[in-house]
Amino acid sequence: MAWILLIVSGVLEAVWATALGKSDGFTRPVPTAVFAVGLALSMTGLALALRSVPVGTGYAIWVGIGAVLTAGYGMVFGGESASLLRVALLAGIVGCVIGLKLAH
């Protein structure tokens, strides 16, 4: 259960990070609200998952999921460049996250 919670919390990290970028310095109410709720849920889920998962492993997995999804969203919807090298490096992060889970 802790691992599922950790994965969901990582996805929510991408949600709040993306909403933060769209909030325009907290001047847009809907993205600001999505940011606040996403942040609270993501941190709560991370805290609960870390009761069972070692902090170093849990944090690395949480931030890796959030980083890959946020960067992927930016490349697909945000006009960021999607070079083969960037995609390969993001795939490397995914591989490392999977490796951390398997090594646990």
The structure tokens listed for 9 are 């919390």
Domain containing 24: what range? 2-103
Distance CA 42, CA 36 (A): 10
Mean pLDDT value of segment 64-71:
96
- pTM for the full predicted model: 0.90
| Tens of pLDDT, residues 8-66 | 999 999 999 999 999 999 999 999 999 999 999 999 999 999 999 999 999 999 999 99
pLDDT of residue 49: 97
pLDDT confidence of residue 13: 97
pLDDT band, very low/low/confident/very high, at 101 (cuts 50, 70, 90):
confident
Q: Work out how many domains the chain is built from and give that number.
A: 1
**1-24 residues labelled b (16+ CB within 10 A) or e (exposed):** eeeebbbbbbbbbbbbbbbbeebe
pLDDT of residue 100: 87
